[in-house]
Amino acid sequence: MSKNICFIDGLEGILKYREIDVNELVDLPYDAISYLLIQGELPGEQELAEYSARLRGERKIDGRVVDVIRMCNFDIDAMEALRTIVSFMSQFDPDLNDNSPEGNMRKAVRLIARIPTIVATYYRMANGKEPITPDPALSHGANFLYMIRGSKPDALEAEILEKDFILSAEHELNASTFSSRITASTLSDLYSAIVSGLCTLKGPLHGGARTEVMTMLEEVACPENAEEFVLGKIERREKIMGFGHRVYKTYDPRGKIFKQLAKELAETKGDMHWYETAEAIENVAIRELVEKKGKPIYPNVDFYSGVIYKYMEIPPQLATSIFAIGRVSGWIAHCFDQYERKKIIRPRAFMLDEC
C-alpha cells in the first residue's frame, strides 16, 4: 500500500482519502470511494463497472441470516443486531478461513454489499414488514433507501445518502478503525475485525453520537429552545452531542459539507424546521464555547448528518448502523494494510495516559 489511506490536518480542517481531498471525492459514487480506499487508486471506468457489479451481485443475504434477524429484539438499537448478525454471517462464508489477499477481497465485497441489507432487513422486520430484495440496478445509497422504504427514493435523497456513506467511509485511526486493526494484527479473520469495529463504533462518544444528535433535536424541538438547552448543558458540564473532536481544532470538513447538504434537503422539502433548530444550537454553542471560552468545539461529522436523517425520516435507532455502512470500506482498507504488515499491535499500559 503505497499511499496513506487517510490524511487529516486538524488545524486547517483538511481530510484526504489516499491523498485526494474529500471535497473532490464527494460527488463520485460510493463504490468508487470504496475501491479507492481498498485498492489505493481511483478505479478507471472498466474497473468501477466490474467492482460495482461484484458488490451489487453480493447484496442478498442467506436465508439462515434472515431467520436470525427475525429473532432479534426490535426494541433496541440496530447496532446490537448488526454486530451479532455480521458475526453469525461469517459461518456461511466459504472464504472464512482463507486469509489470502484474494479470499480477503471476496469477503470484503460480501461485507460491504450485505451490511446495508442486514440493516434494512432488521428495520423492516422491526416495523412488522417483510424484507425487500435488493435491487442491483440501484446505487449503494438508493438501494439502501429502497430496501428500508419499499419504494424507489427520489434522486436528491439517494444522492445525499451516497455522500453520507462517502463522508463516513474513512477517518484514519479513529477508535473503531483502531479496534479493527488490532484484531487484524493478530491475523484473525476479516469478519472478526469488522465485528470489533462495529462494537467500538456504537459508543456515544464515537458513532453513537449521531443517534444522540437526533434525540437531542427532538428534545430541543424548535430554534427558540436552543439557547436555554445549550446554556443548561454547559452549566451542568455535559457534552453537546455532535460537537467537538479529538483531532479537529477547527470546523470538521465533513461537518461543513453535511451542513450544506442538510440545507439543500430542507429547502427542497420546503421545511426548514430541523435545519434551523440545528443551526440555532450551533450558533449558541459556538458563541459560548468558541467565542467566550476559547475552546475549539465545532459541529463534527455527526451533527448535520443527524439533521439529514430527520428529513429522510430515518429513526435514531438506525443512525449508527448507517454510519457503519459507509465506514466498513475504511475498516477493510486498514485491515488489509495491517495484514500486509504481519505484526501484532501491542501497546504498553503507560501509553493509556496519553489517550
Judged by the rule CB under 6 A, the positions of this chain that interact with ligand CMC are 174, 205-207, 209, 239-246, 295, 297, 300-302
Region of 150 please: left (phi>0), alpha (psi -120 to 50) or beta.
Answer: left
Structural contact between residues 165 and 115, judged by C-beta atoms closer than 8 angstroms: no
Q: How far is CA 96 from the centre of its chain?
A: 24
Structural contact between residues 37 and 169, judged by C-beta atoms closer than 8 angstroms: yes
Closest residue by beta carbon to ligand CMC: 244
Choice among 95, 140, 171, 245 that is catalytic: 245
- Residue 239 beta carbon to ligand CMC: minimum distance, rounded to whole angstroms: 4
Structural contact between residues 131 and 66, judged by C-beta atoms closer than 8 angstroms: yes
- Residue 244 beta carbon to ligand CMC: minimum distance, rounded to whole angstroms: 2
Does residue 75 carry a catalytic annotation?
no
Structural contact between residues 275 and 269, judged by C-beta atoms closer than 8 angstroms: no
- Residue 230 beta carbon to ligand CMC: minimum distance, rounded to whole angstroms: 9
Looking at the Cβ atoms of 117 and 200, the one nearer to ligand CMC is 200
Q: How far is CA 292 from the centre of its chain?
A: 32
Sort strands 6-9 and 14-17 into parallel, antiparallel or unpaired.
Answer: antiparallel
- Residue 234 beta carbon to ligand CMC: minimum distance, rounded to whole angstroms: 7
Looking at the Cβ atoms of 30 and 258, the one nearer to ligand CMC is 258
Question: What's the rounded Cα separation, in Å, for the pair 242 and 255?
Answer: 9
Residue type at 6?
Answer: C
Residue 32 grid coordinates: 468508487
Residue type at 349?
Answer: A
Quickly count: other Cβ atoms within 10 Å of residue 232's Cβ.
10
- Residue 181 beta carbon to ligand CMC: minimum distance, rounded to whole angstroms: 15
Q: What residues pair up with 15 in beta bridges, in sequence order?
A: 8
Looking at the Cβ atoms of 31 and 170, the one nearer to ligand CMC is 170
Region of 237 please: left (phi>0), alpha (psi -120 to 50) or beta.
Answer: left
Does residue 245 carry a catalytic annotation?
yes
Give helix then strand counts, H and E, for the chain. 16, 3
Residue type at 114?
Answer: R
Question: What's the rounded Cα separation, in Å, for the pair 201 and 323?
Answer: 9
Choice among 62, 135, 206, 273 that is catalytic: 206
Does residue 171 carry a catalytic annotation?
no
- Residue 141 beta carbon to ligand CMC: minimum distance, rounded to whole angstroms: 20
Q: Which helix (H) or strand (E) holds 15?
A: strand 14-17
- Residue 242 beta carbon to ligand CMC: minimum distance, rounded to whole angstroms: 5
Which residues are tagged catalytic? 206, 245, 302
